[in-house]
Structure 1
Amino acid sequence: MDPKKPTAPWDRRLGAGEERKIFDHLPNHLYFVKNEKLQLISANRAFLDRCGYSEVEEIIGLTDRELFPLELAEKYRQDDLRVLESGQPLNGIIELFPNRIGDPEWFITDKIPLRDDHGAIIGLCGVVRSYERTRIELQPYLDLRGVVEYLKQHFAEPISMKDLASKLGISTRQLERRFRATFNTSPRQYTLKLRILKACELLAGTSMSVTEIALATGFYDHSAFSRRFRSTMNMTPADYRRRNSRYRRALKRPLQPEADSEDPRH
């Protein structure tokens, strides 16, 4: 094994259940792990709460039949078997799942197989989230989808906030407020970020001059572009191009011994 790759030693040092902690901080997401016998092995706090348990140790070894109504448990089991037998993920399952008071409610479930070091399937894990809550959370983004697509396609052109607002049938002030509430930035700042993102792509992937890139991404001149680029990326366009060029060259050449690595002063 390559001594520079820390995966195996790191995995052995990782405490049991550490990798699931992220799911304890994702609101409205239920996470679970089952072994090849479809017994629960792990779950996040939201899953435990939904099933009426306080500690993960209490659900280890239980099956869906011991937690949910029979008709729902059988549906979950059939989906689990499909994942285990096919070895393929099963995503976007829209199904009934008990809500906090035990009544069936529509949820979206994603399941993937889990394999051992030899590639054998030894279980599966899944994430369950409320369909209605997901729809509600996505709705602000969906409402502004037309505006965002317009900005993506026309970011290099002068953009009128008044014209954008009229596309939604709202005032400019309403557009600004809704856009900021959804994306945590204004339409103008979002457009500037799109311009800088495209500029990064052109600096890294083309031989266009900085002035040509400035004009191609909607800036008036080299100076205005460089100021905005530096404030966003904390480096000049030329510095970004040099760093990216070194990175691309490093990807193309074979790995060298550590003593032959690039001068650390750079």
Structure 2
Amino acid sequence: MAAQHLHGSARSEMGAKIGDVFFSEPLFDALPDVVFFLKDRQGRYVVVNQTLARRCGMKDKAGLLGKTANEVFAAPLGQRFQAQDQAVLDDGILIEDQLELHLYPNRDPGWCLTQKRPLRDAHGAIIGLSGVSRDLAMADHKNPAYHKVADAVRLIHEKYSEPLTLPQLARTAHMSVAQIERYFDRIFHLTPRQMIIKTRLEAASRLLAGSASVADIAQACGYADHSAFTRQFRATVGVTPSEYRQLQRGG
């Protein structure tokens, strides 16, 4: 208890001495695989890092400042991001490890885990939000732990169109459910369920570049029906499969 008090006192003392509360901005500029931003109560960008500016196709960060997601991203992605921001600003909702597929200006898809949380003043009132979005890198096959889950990963990649359960993946890896969850987090920074979703939607995004119907793609990617596929796709990508297809084609 005493240690916690000292820690809190040290934080308060240092916080009172810091001249620039945005001191971390240059640090985030040095992280090419992390998007960082602060927004005000109206959802307008106040601080961003260079990675976000580059992902938005801008030469410098100034082009983003003072704008909302709705003004930066093309419809319907902008509205989706704006609604997500509003939920944080209005209701104080925490967004933690939200698996998202982003479509960048060059139309290349990129997977990331997003975090957003409200910023509060000294009285607890919400005055803005902060967020980071971290790219999901390819798994390191040289990681000594990788071989322990390799069979489960292979099962996901080969059988994603079939119903897959966590106990089934654990048996394949000769692990308990708790063990396989721990190893997936250590190696991929994903849960097994997120890995299944990611694999299915990666396949779906490739198929959407072709001419197959959305219903056929849903079935091919392991979804019971068109509506279940659309709900999952929209929750992860921010747009419907049909809208994503249009965005891919430059619509």
- Give me the TM-score of the superposition, normalised by structure 1: 0.46
Larger radius of gyration: 1
TM-score computed with the length of structure 2 as normaliser: 0.49
Q: Which has the higher contact order (CA 8 A, sep 6+)?
A: 2
